[in-house]
Amino acid sequence: MSPLSDPSAVVNPIAFHDYHPAPADLRAEVLEGLAKPRKRLSPKLFYDAEGSKLFDAICELPEYYPTRTEIAILRESGAEMAKRLGREALLVELGSGSSLKIRVLLEALRPAVYMPVDISSAHLRESAQALAATFPGLQVHAVCADYSAPFALPVEDHEHPRAAFFPGSSIGNFEPVDAEQLLRRVAAILGPDGRLLIGVDLIKERERLERAYNDAAGVTAAFNMNLLHRINRELDGGFDTTRFRHEAFFNAEQSRIEMHLLSTCEQQVEVAGARFAFEEGETIHTECSHKYSIDGFHALARRAGFEPEQVWTDPEQLFSVHCLVSRS
Ligand code: AVJ
């Protein structure tokens, strides 16, 4: 039978639900962040076209273990995870995956409905369409929304067990109290007995952690520095990028990798008509990537209204994937 005459091979059109998330106001965010006594910029600002490319390159680096380790865990234990999440599930993905991870999970889980939630409309539409084409028969509801703010699912659906997928240790970008609040909202979306499958990077030796954010090829440095290039491009900024350098270190007390852009001299920089002074050695804090122990993450999950059900790791215990059950 040719693909066209095989009804099971027909690609469903995707449904697109646009909640019109407020577009990031780069100018306002940058002016506000640089005016703080301790200058800081949100890691969300990394991901322009160039930054997204650099992030993809980071995921391929030998030193950056999280991506390949999480994929290996999904491959190894996908069948067990699928059992936990249930048959014919409605699967919500926080941040939409053009990546291998969601494909590995869809392969194992075969949900009835796939609902990617992403703030970037173009990226969401493209990746949702690509997945609909690879998984004929899968109902795809793409939701353009900011998942870090409250939102409701666009469909009244109570016939399928609900599950959510939040890979990549993206939860690590949030301060623990904000991470807790986000998980609480996910629990509310899932309702009682919903499952959350979430990837979390684990605490490990400082050397291993710091190497992952200070790669030999300098890709992470370029990713961090791209924020200054972006401000120069989009806000008519005057950053001399030869006078800043990438800095990343493990803050053990707060259990997080911190990324900064460090001013190598005393200088003044103009951005969008405003002037900012830097001391020599002063930094702009650009990212926190929190690392958890399994017990520490379980405690956070419980505070957010989940009960830990199962956890999978790799043989070196570098990374963890948790299945949590919502109580609310
Ligand atoms: C996408 C937030 C999970 O924290 O490891 C990688 C981003 N920053 N290298 C991480 C990142 C520098 C990444 N997350």
> Among all chains, which residue has been given the structure tokens 């390159």?
57
pTM for this entry: 0.95
Q: Name all contacts of 302-308 with Cβ < 8 Å and 24+ positions apart.
A: 303/180, 304/179, 304/180, 304/181, 304/182, 304/183, 304/184, 304/186, 304/187, 305/183, 305/184, 305/187, 305/188, 306/183, 306/187, 306/196
| 108 within some domain | yes
pLDDT digits (tens, 9 = 90+) for 284-300: 999 999 999 999 999 99
Q: Both 246 and 275 in a single domain?
A: yes
Domains identified in the chain, total number: 2
pLDDT digits (tens, 9 = 90+) for 6-21: 555 566 789 999 999 9
Question: What is the CATH number for 68?
Answer: 3.40.50.150
pLDDT digits (tens, 9 = 90+) for 241-290: 999 999 999 999 999 999 999 999 999 999 999 999 999 999 999 999 99
| pLDDT at residue 131 is higher than 80 | yes
pLDDT of residue 7: 53
Kindly state the average pLDDT of the residues 194-212: 98
| 102 within some domain | yes
Q: Both 81 and 162 in a single domain?
A: yes
pLDDT of residue 1: 44
Would you say the CB of residue 96 lies under 6 angstroms from ligand 1? no
Distance 285 CA to ligand 1 centre (A): 14
Would you say the CB of residue 69 lies under 6 angstroms from ligand 1? no
**Angle at the Cα of 188 (from 183 to 194), degrees rounded to 5?**
85
* Domain that includes residue 255, residue range: 39-58+217-290
pLDDT digits (tens, 9 = 90+) for 149-176: 888 899 988 899 999 999 999 999 999 9
Q: Both 182 and 73 in a single domain?
A: yes
pLDDT of residue 3: 47
Q: Both 46 and 73 in a single domain?
A: no
> What does DSSP say about strands 274-278 and 267-271: parallel, antiparallel, or unpaired?
antiparallel
Which of 56, 289, 291, 320 has most ligand 1 atoms within 8 Å of CB, for mutation?
A: 289
Would you say the CB of residue 127 lies under 6 angstroms from ligand 1? no
pLDDT of residue 24: 83
pLDDT of residue 33: 98
